[in-house]
Amino acid sequence: MQVYGTKVKTPLFLGTARYPSPAILLQAIQTAQAEVITVSLRREGAGGGAFRDLLAQSGARVLPNTAGCHSVAEAITTARMAREVFQTDWLKLEVIGNADSLQPDVFQTVQAAKVLCAEGFKVFPYTTDDLIVGERLLEAGCQVLMPWGAPIGTCQGLRNPDALRAMRAHFPGVPLIVDAGIGAPSHAAQVMEMGFDGVLTNTAVALAGDPVAMAGALAGAVGAGQAAYHAGIVAPRDMAEPSTPVFGLAVLG
């Protein structure tokens, strides 16, 4: 996938919150071979320089996010601070509209994206699977979209796969990364089989019984799903169709 002029070979993006220990986080990143990891400014502030050093050891690119922001002003201020702290213009934009579902406020997200893109940020917007919202974000200057699969942290998988398929078809040339709701390797494989460019997950790995093993499992599932999509998945049929030819069968008198 090519995003903002940068090639990203590994389609699995990892979040960095809620891991049992910094050492396990580092092992999970390395096992998943994740090239991009998301970090909130609040998380970095809690860990300080030691946490930043740990992230540097992983060799992954940091994608700061505005997690926890509920307004345009708060998201823009957090983004500017994150750019100074992490020395990157990449930004995962989150503007939350509902405290229970953590659904993005798409109206404020578009407003914030316009300001941040104008300031030179390379914005990765967390959004819904709404096609019109996606179009508005692209018009604002975003070159990638991150639709949700299900509410953050629920691990429910894809709540509305038909809407995601429609989004993939509607934006054929736009990098699309499913963000939120991924809870199992099968969910990640399903996303990639649809032709999406990547998957972002945090809870499924961080809270697994063995986060490092789960990181490896998700990486394998993402790779398998991507390979299957490019191989050409056979469409389901309504009627049975024999796989063995009838020519050559014995004729019984």
The pLDDT tens digits of the residues spanning 51-110 come to 888 888 999 999 999 999 999 999 999 999 999 999 999 999 999 998 888 899 999 999
Q: Which of 101, 86, 20, 95 lies closest to 55, judged by CA?
A: 86
Q: Can you give the pLDDT at residue 246?
A: 67
**Active-site residue among 7, 9, 92, 114?**
92
Res 50: pLDDT: 80
User: Cα(145)–Cα(123) distance, rounded to whole angstroms?
Assistant: 9
Residue type (1 letter), 85: V
Residue 236 has pLDDT above 70, yes or no: yes
Residue 182 CA to residue 190 CA, distance in Å, equals 10
pLDDT value for 46: 53
Q: How many Cβ atoms from other residues are within 10 Å of residue 203's Cβ?
A: 18
* pLDDT value of position 45: 56
Q: What is the pLDDT of residue 250?
A: 67
Per-residue model confidence (pLDDT) at position 100: 86
Q: Could you tell me which residues are beta bridge partners of residue 217?
A: none
Res 182 pLDDT > 70? yes
pLDDT of res. 43: 55
**122 assigned to active site:** no
Task: Find out whether 218 and 206 touch, Cβ atoms under 8 Å.
Answer: no
Give the pLDDT score at 117. 98
> pTM for the whole thing?
0.91
Query: In this predicted structure, which of 45-59, 123-137, 171-185, 208-222 has the lowest mean pLDDT?
Result: 45-59
Of all residues in the chain, the percent with pLDDT exceeding 90 is 83
Residue, of 127 and 101, whose pLDDT is higher: 127
Whole-number pLDDT of residue 244: 75
> What is the predicted pLDDT for the residue at 51?
82
pLDDT of amino acid 47: 55
Task: Name the residue among 32, 40, 27, 41 with its Cα closest to residue 14.
Answer: 32
Average pLDDT value over all residues in the chain = 93
Whose structure tokens read 């809407």? Answer: 163
* Structure token digits, residue 251: 């004729």
Where helices occur in 100-210 by DSSP H, the ranges are 106-118, 131-140, 161-170, 185-193, 203-206
Average pLDDT over residues 3-14: 95
User: What burial letters (b/e) apply to 71-108, b meaning 16+ CB within 10 Å?
Assistant: ebebbbebbeebbeebeebbbbbbbbbeeeebbbbbeb
